[in-house]
Structure 1
Amino acid sequence: MRMSYDSEANAAYLTIEQKILDGSAIENVVVERPGQGDIVLDFDADGRLLGVEVIGARELLSADVLATADEG
């Protein structure tokens, strides 16, 4: 697993699968956190979880967690 963080977009992405090919995430499940941000779960055609996007990362993740992320 790997996490990247885009500070300008305030979004983090936790990559679970080693390689996520373009177009392989065919289902996105959004968990809304009103006033804080959203969490988007990306699934492939077989229903496997590929990654997790955190929109509003500064509000939903601790500074310690964000400090371990790759800048992206």
Structure 2
Amino acid sequence: MADIRVTYDQKANAAYIYFVDPQARPKVARMYPCDPVEVGGMINLDFDENERLVGIEVLAASSKLPQCLLDVAERLDIEGA
């Protein structure tokens, strides 16, 4: 099973789920926003130039993602993280 990196900024209440090595810095060629009215928040799907899904940005993450996932996510809002 592949490792998936998840980052979370509690202050912004935003999470990002990487489906590729984040060190490779995949170039996002297209972002597809999901309808905020339909999902009750903003979820953006990021695709590379080959139309492969490289990541998902989740705003209002605390209401959209399981708490257990946020608990183990790499924190971006903590000093030294």
- Structures share fold, TM-score greater than 0.5: yes
Kept in 2, the 8 Å contact 1:20–1:50? The answer is no
Q: Mind listing any 5+ residue stretches in structure 2 that lack a counterpart? A: 77-81
- In the TM superposition, 1:50-61 aligns within 5 A as 50-61=54-65
**More helix per residue: 1 or 2?**
2
Query: How much identity, in percent, do the aligned residues show?
Result: 33
- The count of residues paired between Structure 1 and Structure 2 equals 70
Q: CA deviation at 1:42?
A: 0.4
Runs of 5+ consecutive residues of structure 1 not aligned to the other structure:
none
| Residue 67 of structure 1 pairs with residue 65 of structure 2 | no
- Which one of 37, 48, 51 corresponds to residue 52 of structure 2? 48
Work out which of the two has the higher radius of gyration on C-alpha atoms and give 1 or 2: 2
More strand by share: 1
Normalising by structure 2, we get a TM-score of 0.78
The TM-score, its normalising length taken from structure 1, stands at 0.86
